[in-house]
Chains A and B, each alone.
Chain A
C-alpha cells in the first residue's frame, strides 16, 4: 500500500482491510453516482476506528460494503490478509460469522413480533448449530450479561416494544455478538438514542473492545464522540477519505480544511469566539463530482491545482495522512490559513421589511399606523 495509514502499533496485524474500495451506483441512465472512491481502511483487534463525515458522504455505503451486503465495484477486501470477497451463500455465512453489522435504528432492526429470546436464539443457532436446553439458556444469558442487561431473565421474554431504545440497541449488539465476531461494524449506533443513554452504549462498545479484543468500525457524524470513543479517526468528504490519524490529533489539530471546518463548526460553549463563521456552500453532487479535490468548491484556499488534480495522501507526521495539496511540495500548492477567518464575514443580509397590511379588521387601526412607522416606510400604499 502506498498511502494507507499504519497509525496503530504495527505488532497487531490487520483483521479486516479494504484497499482502494470503490462503489459506483448507476443512476438509471443519468450517469453514475460516485458514492465511494479509493477508500483504504484497516481494522485491527482491540482498536476502534471512527469514520466521520456528513450525511451523504458515503459512510454507510462503506459499512455495507465491508459487511458485503452489496458488492463493491472496485478494490479489494481482505480478512486476515486473504481475499474475502464472497461468491456464494455459504461463503457469505462464513464471512458474517466474523464480521457483524449493527444498524442505526434499534426500532427497525429488531422484529417486533418476536421476543428477545427468539431473536437471540436464531442468531445463536445460525452460528453455533442446534444448541438446546441448558446449553442454549446459558449462551443466551451470557450474551445478555455481556451487554450489561442484567439480570438476563428479566429481558429474555420481553418483546422489543417493551424495552427502551438503549436496551433495544443492547439487544441488537448481543445478537451481533452471538456470532462471536472479530469485527463489529457499528453504523451510527447511538444517533437514534436519547442523549442521556448514548454514552452508556459507547462505554459498552469500549468495554467489548477491551474484553473481547473486537475490531470496531464506528461510523458517525459526530466528531466529538469519535474523539471520545475511537482510537483512530478517518474523515470522509463526498465519498473520499480526506484525513486520517489518531483521534486526538485529528480533532485537536485538524489539518485538512474540511476537517478544520468540521471541528470549528461543532458547538463549543466554552469558547464562543473560536468557531468558523460564514462558511458557505454544500457538499457536491456525487453524480458529477468536482474535478480535483472534491472539497475545492467550498474550500477558501483552493487554487487552480485543487480544481484540476486529485490530491494524493501526504504523510504529515506520526501515522497521519491528509489528502490536500496544501501539504505537498508542489510549487503551485495552495497556501493554507486559518479556516476560522478565511471565509470572512458573511455578506450582510438585506432585510426587506414586509409592508404592513393587517388581515382585514384584526388590529386596531392605530396599531397598523404605528407599526408601519416603527418598521420602515411601507411600500404598499401605492398598490392599494
Chain B
C-alpha cells in the first residue's frame, strides 16, 4: 500500500496539531470487504486521533464506514472485512505504546475490555438472552481477573449497576426483563467494568426515545468526568454529537471529510457535506424554514466515482472535483482554529470559498 508511507509522514503532523496527548492514534487505516480480486475499499487511508479524556464524535450516513472504523481499530472486524494497511497506536496511562494491529492474539485478548471497551449497536441484541445479566458481567470480569473470588466479582458488578443507576437486585434479571434503556445501561456498566481508557460507543442511543437518550448521554458525560476515560461516540445524529462531543469527525463514503471542535463545526461548517448534513435535521426551535436535505444518494463503494466522492451531490462542485481527489488539509478561511481539517477543493486557495462555507462567526 502506498498510503502507509504518506500516513507515516503526513498523518502525525495534523494529528499532533489536533491532539496533544493521544490515547488512540489511528494512522492511514484502510479496510477492504471481500477477498476476491475486486474487493470493495470501504475505508481508505483514514487517520484520526483520540485525545486523553476527550469525547470524539464520529458522524455520517449509514454505510459511510463509521462502524467499520471502530471495529477495525479494535480488530473486531468480522470477515469478509480485511485490514489492508495502517497502524493503531494505543498509549496506556503509564505511557506504554502499542500498535493494536500488531498485537499477538494473547496480548490482544488481555487488552480488550481492559484498555478499550465497546458498547455495541443495539444493546437489545448484544446481551445473551439465556443468562442473567449479572452473570454476564461477572464472566467478563473473570476473564481478566481470574484470581478474584466470586463474591468479589459480584460485588464489583453491583457497584457498576449502581454507577449506571440500576438497582443492584436487577443483577438477577434476564435481559428480557429489562427495558431498552436499562439494557443499554447494562451494556455501559459492562464496558466500564475494568475501567478501560477508551470507550467506543456505536450508536448507543439510536433505539431509544429522546428522554432516555438524554438520560444515557448525561450519564456518560458524568462518568467520563469522574473516571477520566476517552470516548469515541458514533452516531448519525449530528445534533446530539454537538452536545456531547468535544471534537467531531465527519465521514463520507469511507473517508473523513472534515474534523474540528464540535461547536466550530456546527456553527461554521467548511465542507459542503457537513453543511448538508447539518441542514438535514429540522430544528425544534427557532425559525421554521424549508429544508431540502442532500439530493441524491451516497456512491456505491464497490465502484466509487473518480475524484471527490461527494462531487455528484455537491452544489459547489468544480471541474477538478470529478477528477482529482481532495486531501484532508487546513481550511482556507482566515481565522479558523488550527485544529480544523477539511478535504475539499474549495479550500485549496485557488478560488474564494463560497460564502455559506466561509462563515466566520
A-B contact pairs, 8 of them (CB 8 A): A195-B281, A195-B293, A222-B210, A251-B284, A282-B179, A349-B163, A363-B96, A367-B93
Known A267-B243, A354-B195: A196·B276 in contact at CB below 8 Å:
yes
CA distance A285 to B313 in the complex (A): 46
One of A60-68, A117-125, A177-185, A270-278 contacting the partner: A270-278
User: Which 9 A-B residue pairs are closest in the complex by CB-CB distance?
Assistant: A54-B209, A199-B293, A228-B282, A367-B94, A269-B242, A196-B294, A265-B214, A224-B284, A164-B297
Chain A residues with Cβ below 8 Å from B128 are: none
**Contact between chains at B281 and A350 (CB < 8 Å):** no
User: Please, what's the 1-or-0 string for A239-275, where 1 marks a CB less than 8 Å from any CB in chain B?
Assistant: 0000000001001100000000111011111111001
**Contact between chains at A352 and B239 (CB < 8 Å):** no
**Contact between chains at A55 and B209 (CB < 8 Å):** yes
Chain B residues with Cβ below 8 Å from A384 are: 147
Which chain A residues (340-363) contact chain B, with CB distance < 8 Å? 346, 349-354, 357, 359-360, 362-363
Residue A219 interfacial (CB < 8 Å): no
User: Please, what's the 1-or-0 string for B138-152, where 1 marks a CB less than 8 Å from any CB in chain A?
Assistant: 000000110111001
For the side of the interface on A, what is the size category?
35 or more
Which chain A residues (196-235) contact chain B, with CB distance < 8 Å? 196-200, 203, 221-225, 227-229
CA distance A229 to B288 in the complex (A): 10
15 additional contacts (CB under 8 A) given A200-B295, A224-B284, A271-B285: A166-B297, A198-B293, A225-B282, A227-B282, A248-B288, A251-B284, A266-B284, A267-B239, A270-B285, A277-B218, A279-B211, A357-B148, A359-B110, A371-B93, A375-B195
Residue B237 interfacial (CB < 8 Å): yes
Known A349-B222, A354-B195: A194·B298 in contact at CB below 8 Å:
yes
Residue B194 interfacial (CB < 8 Å): yes
**Contact between chains at B163 and A272 (CB < 8 Å):** no
Residue B240 interfacial (CB < 8 Å): yes
**Contact between chains at A194 and B93 (CB < 8 Å):** no
A interface secondary structure, majority: loop
Residue B223 interfacial (CB < 8 Å): yes
**Contact between chains at A262 and B277 (CB < 8 Å):** no
> Closest B-chain residue to A252, C-beta based?
B285
Which chain B residues (216-256) contact chain A, with CB distance < 8 Å? 218-219, 222-223, 226-227, 236-240, 242-243
Question: B282: which of A199, A269, A346 is its contact (CB, 8 Å)?
Answer: A199
> Closest B-chain residue to A199, C-beta based?
B293
> Closest A-chain residue to B222, C-beta based?
A349
Residue A129 interfacial (CB < 8 Å): no
Tell me, rounded to whole Å, the shortest Cβ–Cβ distance linking B143 to chain A.
9
User: Please, what's the 1-or-0 string for A34-68, where 1 marks a CB less than 8 Å from any CB in chain B?
Assistant: 00000000000000000000110000000000000
CA distance A356 to B61 in the complex (A): 40
Question: B277: which of A54, A196, A224, A227 is its contact (CB, 8 Å)?
Answer: A196
Residue B53 interfacial (CB < 8 Å): no
Residue B292 interfacial (CB < 8 Å): yes
Question: A262: which of B96, B107, B211 is its contact (CB, 8 Å)?
Answer: B211
Known A350-B163, A354-B195: A267·B211 in contact at CB below 8 Å:
no
Residue B291 interfacial (CB < 8 Å): yes
CA distance A311 to B29 in the complex (A): 58
**Contact between chains at A227 and B288 (CB < 8 Å):** yes
CA distance A221 to B294 in the complex (A): 22
Residue A370 interfacial (CB < 8 Å): yes
Residue A90 interfacial (CB < 8 Å): no
Chain B residues with Cβ below 8 Å from A350 are: 162-163
**Contact between chains at A227 and B284 (CB < 8 Å):** yes
Tell me, rounded to whole Å, the shortest Cβ–Cβ distance linking B208 to chain A.
8
Tell me, rounded to whole Å, the shortest Cβ–Cβ distance linking B206 to chain A.
10
Residue A364 interfacial (CB < 8 Å): yes
> Closest B-chain residue to A367, C-beta based?
B94
Chain B residues with Cβ below 8 Å from A203 are: 292-293
CA distance A267 to B211 in the complex (A): 10
**Contact between chains at A352 and B163 (CB < 8 Å):** yes
Residue B266 interfacial (CB < 8 Å): yes
**Contact between chains at B297 and A197 (CB < 8 Å):** yes
Residue A9 interfacial (CB < 8 Å): no
CA distance A229 to B243 in the complex (A): 25
Chain A residues with Cβ below 8 Å from B162 are: 349-350
Chain A residues with Cβ below 8 Å from B210 are: 54, 221-223, 262, 265-267
Residue B180 interfacial (CB < 8 Å): yes
Tell me, rounded to whole Å, the shortest Cβ–Cβ distance linking B283 to chain A.
7
